[in-house]
Chains A and B, each alone.
Chain A
């Protein structure tokens, strides 16, 4: 069971959280003229590295905040977590 440090609440076991996938995806601006390809990139295409992965988690059974986690997809090691408006330190 992963141990995830919620930037608001501290370390908690994985079963308090839900996963939100690739954190590098940027939603296009509302009303923006955008090609089908760019739009589909946003909807369907993901970073899928073996190694360091920037991802979203949601503290659903806690403070209900979404935040960012930098995690190794091969070892599951968590390098850092931070609030949405922050950047990772490592």
Chain B
């Protein structure tokens, strides 16, 4: 594999960039693989990479219905954080943060990890207390967190509405300085390129249409490009999980919902941090291109449409102007939607299933992008060892029966309630 660097870039510039190799090949599916990963999104690609790198399993195929990176890894708002209250989430996402820090170097692909700090604005003492509970929990778990006062915030986001008379004055905030953003497409492509180089077959335009299960064991998958044998299948298709689970007669505590995001036109650097509004559904960061990347809440009804409707966009931007009134004269350039696997407690599921050799990675709700490295890492472990990793041991299906649910929001099994 070619090494990417400023030297290779300069060298290739003098040959008109005609000697760059493909980032990943386009192979025909083989008859059999040791492991098949269904879903060529971030999590699937990362899982294949870690299967090869950490476990030496390289006879692996990733089956992607469309084109790799076309689902949620290419549709999210690129935020990375580990600012969770509950230990199971905190340790898992913090492990991910450590992987993010060196991911560009590890993948030899610049994923533009940018720890620009994520700030949750608080608008009342009660909210500051709730944030303090989470922030203290983070600190006790060894995760960075600081409280910010109004004066701190005025220096960081001076154009926000700091008037005392606005509808929900800013009291302060909780910040995770190491939180930030990364370039979403690069993450998918970087993992794909490395996985490919270690022997993983990335097979695009290959839709899984069924599974061969015998005596409770997986034996192969049926696809639009023929049947492929395997003893292990990992499902990494958040957004479409229940569609595949239906083929396996598996019922899951998951609903599909559409989450929209939008960007403004690019403007010169203004907003350095990732900021979430505490009195409405709005968060924002400014991309390296200059666009304000904005999101908020689910459209609020089951949906598999990768597009949303105006009321939620209006609702989110209304929250946006409540905190950043100067954004009013910016223009909204583009909106899009992604399908969320909303689990019934808001936390993911990474687990073995009742079918031997079938492994499940789903239920990412709004937060799958930041989990890409850690999810791939522990899922690869779960598949390779046929045993859950310590970090995903709480993300099991059993918790909905035992009661050990991990509900960060506390709204219960109604995912459409923000």
Which residue among B240, B300, B303 has the maximum number of chain A CB atoms within 10 Å of its CB?
B303
9 residue pairs A–B, Cβ–Cβ below 8 Å: A1-B309, A1-B310, A22-B302, A43-B344, A45-B252, A46-B254, A71-B301, A73-B256, A75-B305
**A36 contacts partner chain B, Cβ-Cβ < 8 Å:** yes
From B252, B303, B310, A73 is in contact (CB under 8 Å) with B303
Could you give, for residues 396-414 of chain B, a 1 whenever the CB lies within 8 Å of some chain A CB and a 0 otherwise? 0000110000000000011
A-B complex: 4 closest residue pairs judged by Cβ atoms: A44-B253, A48-B242, A44-B344, A50-B304
> Which of A13-21, A26-34, A60-68, A82-90 lines the interface with chain B?
A13-21
What is the CA–CA distance of A50 and B237 in the complex, to the nearest angstrom?
Answer: 14
Q: Answer whether residue B255 sits at the interface, using C-beta atoms and an 8 A cutoff.
A: yes
Bound-state Cα–Cα, A5 to B300, Å:
18
Contacts A36-B401, A50-B256 known; list 19 others, CB within 8 Å: A1-B310, A2-B301, A2-B309, A18-B300, A19-B301, A21-B414, A22-B302, A40-B401, A44-B253, A44-B400, A45-B252, A46-B255, A46-B344, A48-B242, A50-B304, A73-B256, A73-B305, A74-B303, A76-B305
Shortest C-beta distance, A56 to chain B (Å), equals 10
Of the candidates A14, A41, A48, the one whose C-beta lies within 8 Å of that of B302 is A48
Interface residues of A (CB under 8 A from B): 1-2, 14-15, 18-19, 21-22, 36-37, 40-41, 43-46, 48, 50, 53, 55, 71, 73-76
Task: Point out the residues of chain A lying under 8 angstroms from B302, CB to CB.
Answer: 21-22, 48, 53, 55, 73
Q: Within the complex, what minimum Cβ distance (angstroms) separates A73 from chain B? A: 5
Min CB gap B169→A, angstroms: 27
Chain A residue with the shortest CB-CB distance to B415: A21
B243 interface residue (CB < 8 Å to A):
yes
Measured in the bound complex, the distance between the Cα atoms of B256 and A37 in whole Å is 22
Question: Inside 8 A of A73's CB, which chain B residues have their CB?
Answer: 256, 302-305
Complex: A74 Cα to B258 Cα, angstroms: 10
**Which of A18, A22, A50, A53 is within 8 Å of B243, CB to CB?**
A50
A76 touches B303 (CB 8 A): yes
CB of B413 within 8 A of CB of A44, answer yes
Which A residue's beta carbon lies closest to that of B414? A21
A15 to B256, CA, bound (A): 21
- Tell whether B354 is near chain A: CB-to-CB under 8 Å: no
A21: which B residues are within 8 A, CB to CB?
Answer: 255, 302, 414, 416
